């Protein structure tokens, strides 16, 4: 059955995060004037990277079940992991774990066990910082994703297919990315095609469409283009969505339009949940 390959150190999979860092990402997000889209997304990605590290930690060892890339596009198209990882595109998860840019101390609200809420200090690794400048060269970003995956797939023909998580807040300014999106999503291992997720975010808190099975509810050609290049979700990913309260029918695609902050957090969670980790 497709998407059934075991994920292990000898047979890893690959996650590619593709982040719009154009000037409009400096706009407020979800009606919260104090939070910019770029800041929220950077926090969500850093939190997801930390979750992936934790998932690969066994008996105090981080095992290389995953290879990870984080690509940003705006005034430049480039890998955006910082510090000692600057300029590197794909890194094994153990290297990611060893080399955050910094570790911040943040306050986290938790239950006090008696019906109240208390704040607890927690360590928060940071691998990338927010950025928002320039236009939206989506085609150039997809070209870098495609070349990165083409090279990775040469050496990983039997593994669980790579997962690409693309987040944007606007239309491409360097052409139509449809063909490149289709090429990315049709690349494959012996276990199945690459899974391409697309999430459009908006400063508006209305009209969101999450994981549709057809494009009838989408408002314009741009939204429908994102839907067409998004992958149909395997059953395990649909079950992950249903666990967080999102109903996904047969044929649901990895596409969110006009997403809000909750949508973004769930998008990264659902998209990084292959169940076959060993």
Positive or negative, the CA dihedral 46, 255, 186, 277 is positive
Residue 182 φ/ψ, nearest 5 degrees? -65, -40
Rounded Cα–Cα distance for residues 22 and 74 (Å):
4
Whether residue 5 is contained in a domain is answered as no
pLDDT at residue 207 in the model: 84
Domains in the chain, number: 1
Q: Check residue 16 and give its pLDDT.
A: 98
Domain presence at residue 23: yes
Q: What is the CATH number of the domain that holds 63?
A: 3.40.50.410
In a domain, 276, yes or no: no
3-state per-residue secondary structure call for 161-173: CCEEEEEECCCCC
278 assigned to some structural domain: no
State residue 206's pLDDT score: 66
Mean pLDDT, 10 residues at a time, the chain of 278 residues: 88 97 92 81 97 92 96 98 97 98 82 67 93 98 98 95 97 97 97 97 80 93 96 92 89 95 93 71
d(CA 38, CA 29): 9
Q: Are 26 and 158 in contact (CB under 8 A)?
A: no
- Whole-angstrom distance, CA of residue 181 vs CA of residue 195: 11
The residues that bridge with 166 in the sheet, in sequence order, are 18, 198
CB 261 within 8 A of CB 30: yes
6 found inside a domain = no
**Position 90 in a domain:** yes
Domain that holds residue 163: 13-271
**pLDDT at position 33:** 60
Q: Which position has the token pair 């973004």?
A: 264
């Amino acid at each position: 059955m497709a998407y059934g390959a075991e994920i292990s150190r000898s047979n890893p999979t690959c996650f590619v995060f593709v982040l719009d860092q154009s000037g409009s990402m400096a706009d407020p997000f979800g009606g919260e004037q104090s939070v910019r889209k770029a800041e929220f997304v950077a926090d969500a990605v850093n939190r997801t990277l930390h979750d992936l590290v934790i998932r690969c930690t066994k008996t105090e060892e981080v095992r290389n079940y995953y290879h990870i890339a984080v690509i940003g596009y705006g005034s430049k198209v480039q890998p955006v992991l910082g510090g000692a990882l600057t300029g590197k595109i794909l890194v094994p998860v153990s290297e990611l774990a060893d080399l955050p840019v910094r570790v911040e101390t943040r306050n986290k609200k938790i239950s006090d066990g008696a019906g109240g809420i208390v704040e607890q200090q927690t360590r928060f690794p940071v691998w990338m910082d927010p950025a928002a400048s320039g236009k939206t060269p989506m085609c150039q970003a997809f070209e870098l994703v495609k070349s990165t995956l083409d090279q990775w797939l040469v050496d990983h023909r039997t593994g669980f297919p790579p997962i690409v998580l693309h987040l944007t807040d606007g239309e491409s300014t360097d052409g139509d990315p449809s063909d490149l999106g289709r090429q990315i999503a049709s690349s494959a291992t012996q276990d199945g095609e690459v899974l391409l997720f697309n999430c459009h975010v908006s400063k508006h808190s209305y009209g969101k469409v999450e994981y549709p099975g057809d494009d009838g509810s989408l408002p314009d050609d741009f939204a429908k283009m994102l839907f067409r290049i998004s992958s149909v979700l395997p059953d395990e990913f649909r079950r992950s969505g249903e666990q967080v309260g999102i109903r996904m029918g047969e044929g649901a695609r990895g596409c969110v339009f006009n997403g809000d902050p909750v949508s973004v957090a769930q998008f990264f969670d659902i998209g990084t949940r292959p169940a076959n980790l060993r």
